[in-house]
Chain A
Amino acid sequence: MNRGVAITGMGIISSIGTTVEENFNALINGKPGITVIENIATIHKNNIKVGEIKKTNSQLAEELGLSADNNFSRTAMLATIAAKQAVKNAGIADINEYATGLISATTVGGMDMTEKFFYDYIEREDNRRYIQAHDAGDTTHKIANELGLKGLVTTISTACSSAANAIMLGARLIKSGKLDRVIVGGTDALSKFTINGFKTLMILSDTYNTPFDNNRKGLNLGEAAAFLVLESDEVVKKENKKVLAYLSGYGNANDAYHQTASSENGDGAFLAMEKAFKVSGLQPLDIDYINAHGTATPNNDLSEGRALIRMFGDTMPDFSSTKPFTGHTLAAAAAIEAVYSVLALQHGIVYPNLNFETPMEEFNIVPQTVLKEKEINHVLSNSFGFGGNCSTLLFSKS
């Protein structure tokens, strides 16, 4: 069995912490980051809960040392913070020393700024520098520029599976020999656009999200950014790098059922998991923990639950969704959950699926509700997005 691609660095900022360590402490101490929204003025303020990073844009800009006339969207600032952490964690001194790439993911891009200045742009010149910051690629360019990276830089946007796809593309670029190392991950900031968008779909909960619970009402949106550094075996050996974990498998498939809803039998999810197992050479029995997509929407948890049962049958491993901690961070979700998966491998921890009370009537599986310590060798992480986009990542202990 091929071990996979080495993960040598991680960086993260989310509503439960501004570093890897802070996030981990929140997870093991059961401290979620779901609150009432403060940074955005919205009429829905009292009808939703969010996983908000309690820092203003000014604070983020100051932390990054940006000049007063910068044109970073919040999405770009969060991403830069996390990417810099990851690069530092991987002990990279000269980023261009090896053939290095950057694959980021986002759905919001600079929309958080565009929605502020939409009519303002026509009236005044003051904020027009943000026009350029709207598209997804600009967010990624900003990260690359702040890292001083010159090379293969691109961005993926496939809704909520985006970061998983960025991670698996990075792995493939290393396996094919095109790159020696690649920084991969995703970012999304909260925005009025997404808050209202999800509200129109009637899948936002007005209370704390309860994945896999029979009375679940919907998701809590969140914001976050996370990046991993993937490096080839040659570089790991040459630089004597510490490997945090391996990305041993990955798969992407399409549900081809409906634009926003998942199929009843979770076809796309099942196919994605199947592909991931094939790439890794692992079997369902090898999995010690599943970090589910588990958004707590009526549709996802049913579809995903069925897909998990189809895949694991009677030998369902411990599983939980960490979205009660962080909210659903859209394009960043798979990236922050990748960080959590690596931490689970390193520390032998299964995270609790918070807020769970009542098992779903449709099947017998229930998530792990309390923190559990055990040996974990392989973790499966799911992320499913609109457009039927289903992705699975497999992580293995180093």
Chain B
Amino acid sequence: MKKCYINGTACVSSQKTINTAFLQDIIINENDNILELSLPDYKEVILPAAARRMAKGVKNGIVASHWAMKEAGTQNPDAIITGTGMGCGVDSEKFLKALIDNKEEFLTPTSFIQSTHNTVGGQIALGLQCKAYNFTYVNGAVSFESSLIDAKMQIDGEEASTILVGGVEETSENTLQFLKLSGVIKDKEQSPYSVLGSDTTGAVFSEGAVFFVLENEQKATTYAELKDVSIYNLLEQNEIEAKLKAFLAHNKLTLADIDAVVLGYNGDVQYDGYYNTLANSVFANIPQLYYKHLSGEFYTASAFGLWVASHIVKLQELTSILQINKIEGKSFKNVLLYNQYRGADHSFTLISQC
């Protein structure tokens, strides 16, 4: 069985994360309930003839995958696997609105075609002329982790040696409106927002695209080894610890072997308790980190979390802006990530230093 290495990564987000040093230009925005994307240079990567049809998510996905592959030094992956919770919202809304407003007349195909969930994966393949395996996962907050599980199985089983994996999400006008109406997004009246110690429900939302190149060989560009990923549709708070122990045991580790934990706190008082369960007990004495105050919340925000964790393992240091508690670590051999969304779609991801 081959090992699985994270050999390249790139991130398009509400922070300036493309072609910058890790977290060098952080913007903390506690006033808005939607964080705006920091736009990358699209023209550098995408031809105008192709870009003219693409909505944000597709363009961001292409940019992030381009830089991730460049870093890893790969050109033609053996598989392209993408995760997206909502899919291509902008084009879906465009087509749906036109449909309703024009009473089903004078509709044009472009936005319909661009609205299918696998557009990002399909466009990346088209651009690379890559005829390999190409899957898109669409299961809320485990869309990205499902992609990781699939990719890792292929590397483990020696079915592939280089895989491009990513998580993409785009905000779209009406969907944001609906999410605000249903209380999923923080109330405008309740700013400023703090992810830690929040006493209000809902989360600050954003969008992004984060891609990784997973390979079966270590390289100079290697960030970390991807050890294991596990997902669970539902878990009670009192089940988390046992599940975590079983997950670690499966990897021949115990809680004591974890050097730092990256938690998906998003400031929703109704659900952040899941993280407190671990932070206040089994991980009380190790560095605890969070990231959604930088990335905002979206179904594939956990990909940003992995991007952060990968850097910590590679650089072997913590950036203070990520720290929840004051505990400094000395070394970061094993880093665990835990995420969930509104009580569902729980995931554990384990990465290790090589």
Contacts and interface: CB of A to CB of B under 8 A. Distances in A.
B97 A118 contact: yes
Contacts of A192: 99, 104
Given A107-B116, A138-B140, A157-B87, A253 B133 contact: yes
A69 to B, nearest CB: 14
Nearest to A199: B107
Contacts of B109: 197, 200-201
A388 B121 CA distance: 10
Contact of A176 (B133, B139, B153, B235): B153
Contact of B134 (A114, A200, A254, A267): A254
A280 to B, nearest CB: 15
A135 interface: yes
A268 interface: yes
A307 to B, nearest CB: 13
A387 B121 contact: yes
B157 interface: yes
Interface string B94-133: 0111011001110111001101111101110110111111
Interface string B219-252: 0000000000011111100000000000000000
A257 B85 CA distance: 26
Contacts of A119: 100
Contact of B133 (A153, A155, A252): A252
A88 interface: no
Contact of A201 (B113, B138, B142, B344): B113
Contacts of B125: 254, 256, 387-388
Contacts of B126: 256-259, 388
A370 interface: no
B181 A121 contact: yes
A383 interface: no
A259 B109 CA distance: 11
A158 interface: yes
Contact of A259 (B107, B122, B130, B174): B122
A320 B175 CA distance: 42
Interface stretch (A25-33, A50-58, A143-151, A204-212): A143-151
A172 interface: yes
A115 interface: yes
B137 A131 contact: no
Given A154-B231, A385-B118, A256 B130 contact: yes
A367 to B, nearest CB: 27
B160 to A, nearest CB: 12
B146 to A, nearest CB: 4
A109 B139 CA distance: 11
Given A43-B103, A136-B87, A201-B112, A128 B122 contact: no
B257 interface: no
A3 B30 CA distance: 58
B119 to A, nearest CB: 6
B132 A169 contact: no
A386 B122 contact: yes
**Interface of chain A: mostly helix, strand, loop or mixed:** mixed
B134 A387 contact: yes
Nearest to B86: A135
B133 to A, nearest CB: 5
A385 B140 CA distance: 22
Contacts of A176: 153, 156-157
B138 A155 contact: yes
Interface centre among B117, B132, B156 (most CB of A within 10 A): B117
A110 to B, nearest CB: 11
A135 B138 CA distance: 8
Chain A, interface size category, equals 35 or more
Nearest to A168: B135
Interface string A55-76: 0000000000000000000000
Contact of B100 (A118, A149, A254, A271): A118
Contacts of A107: 116-117
Given A158-B136, A387-B118, A388-B125, A151 B104 contact: no
B317 interface: no
Nearest to A132: B182
B42 interface: no
Nearest to A136: B138
A201 B92 CA distance: 16
Contact of B174 (A118, A138, A256, A260): A118
B138 A137 contact: yes
A50 B320 CA distance: 59
A102 B232 CA distance: 11
Given A193-B95, A199-B107, A386-B118, A121 B136 contact: no
A256 B139 contact: no
Contact of B132 (A115, A172, A253): A253
Given A118-B100, A387-B119, A260 B136 contact: no
A23 interface: no
B217 to A, nearest CB: 21
A154 B232 CA distance: 9
Nearest to B98: A196
Contact of B107 (A150, A169, A200, A260): A200
A151 B232 CA distance: 5
Interface in A79-135: 102, 106-107, 109, 111, 114-115, 118-119, 121-122, 128, 131-132, 134-135
Interface in A16-49: 42-44
Nearest to B97: A118
Contacts of A379: none
Contact of B232 (A111, A122, A150): A150
A111 B112 CA distance: 13
Interface of B: 80, 85-87, 92, 95-97, 99-100, 103-105, 107-109, 112-113, 115-119, 121-123, 125-126, 128-140, 142-143, 146, 149-150, 153, 156-157, 174-175, 177-179, 181-182, 230-235, 299, 344-345
Given A153-B142, A172-B157, 12 more contacts: A121-B177, A121-B181, A134-B175, A141-B140, A152-B231, A154-B137, A155-B137, A176-B156, A178-B149, A192-B99, A200-B112, A201-B109
Interface of A: 42-44, 102, 106-107, 109, 111, 114-115, 118-119, 121-122, 128, 131-132, 134-138, 140-141, 144-145, 149-159, 165, 169, 172-173, 176, 178, 192-193, 196-197, 199-201, 252-260, 267-268, 271, 385-389
23 contacts: A43-B104, A111-B92, A118-B96, A135-B87, A135-B140, A136-B87, A136-B139, A137-B139, A141-B140, A152-B233, A153-B142, A154-B139, A154-B143, A158-B121, A176-B157, A196-B99, A200-B108, A201-B109, A201-B113, A252-B135, A254-B134, A260-B113, A388-B125
- 5 closest Cβ pairs, A-B complex: A387-B122, A137-B140, A197-B112, A153-B233, A157-B117
